[in-house]
Amino acid sequence: MQDIYKQFENFVLQTVSVQCPECEVVFATDMLAHTPNMTKDTPVETDLHRILPHPSVRAALIAMCPACLYTNWYSSFVEDSLIPFMAVAPAEVAFSKKFAHAVLTGRKIGAHHLDRALFALNGSWCAREAGEPCEKWLELAGQELESALADDSWTGNRSRYQYIMGEICRLLGDFHGAVRHYNQVDRKSQLPKSLVDHQRQEAINGNSKPVQLPPEYVEAIFFPKPINLDELLGTTQNQTHELKSS
């Protein structure tokens, strides 16, 4: 570690000291100090992940203790005032493999399958950003996400995760499985129906390649316009004022 700050395009990483919640060792790690705001032109793929300029940027979302290998989201660690250069040096491991350790930690502490699926998905994206194969990562993410979807005990946007599961299957070349999951996506996903239909057709056509979202879809998904209740209810401004006042 020669520099406290590193910059990749407009993303800024900062080297800080954190304490491991498992063994209490204080070690140095990179954290994401600045993330540029998204716009409709931000590169996003159809599995809804933001393309990052370097694998170290995604790897900075998690921290890995070099002593006990406990690995979790950066927010799970407490920052320490110790100067990073005086702390234990970070573990020397490939950026994507940090996420493998996160999955292992998740299994050890009993994290939900959904949490482990998100670690594995980030591992696949990090591997691609590093120019590494990602098929094994996708298989792992698919196994964990299938288990999560089979568990009725958690609440969340299951419909959107059905879509993501469809994307995992499509990228792995499991087109039948992809169509099966796309068919379970409904309005609760809050995704444009035309996007789901398009990706279903991509699977039917046998396209297993990554697809980037057009700007209009990025805008529709990440910057949804507020619903105009007046238009929905057919009320005038005066009527709306009367409803508020009553």
Question: 52: which 2 tokens?
Answer: 């990052």
Q: What is the pLDDT of residues 24-34, one digit of tens each?
A: 999 999 999 99
Q: What is the pLDDT of residues 115-136, one digit of tens each?
A: 999 999 999 999 999 999 999 9
Q: What is the pLDDT of residues 230-246, one digit of tens each?
A: 655 664 444 333 433 33
Strand boundaries in the chain, DSSP class E = 5-8, 11-19, 26-34, 62-64, 71-73, 78-80
> Where residue 229 falls among pLDDT bands split at 50, 70, 90?
low
Average pLDDT over the chain reads 92
What integer pLDDT is reported at residue 101 of this predicted model?
98
Spatial separation of the C-alpha atoms in residues 114 and 193, rounded to whole Å: 24
Taking residues 153-178, report their average pLDDT. 96
Helices and strands, counts by H and E, the chain:
10, 6
* Contact status, residue 91 vs residue 70, Cβ threshold 8 Å: no
Cα angle: 84, vertex 85, 86; to 5 degrees: 90
Question: Per-domain residue ranges for the chain?
Answer: 5-154+211-241
What integer pLDDT is reported at residue 241 of this predicted model?
37
Spatial separation of the C-alpha atoms in residues 173 and 222, rounded to whole Å: 27
* Contact status, residue 18 vs residue 75, Cβ threshold 8 Å: no
What integer pLDDT is reported at residue 234 of this predicted model?
61
Q: What percent of the chain lies above the pLDDT cut of 70? A: 91
pLDDT higher than threshold 60 for residue 2: no
pTM > 0.95: no
> Where residue 112 falls among pLDDT bands split at 50, 70, 90?
very high
> Where residue 3 falls among pLDDT bands split at 50, 70, 90?
low
Q: What is the pLDDT of residues 57-105, one digit of tens each?
A: 999 999 999 999 999 999 999 999 999 999 999 999 999 999 999 999 9
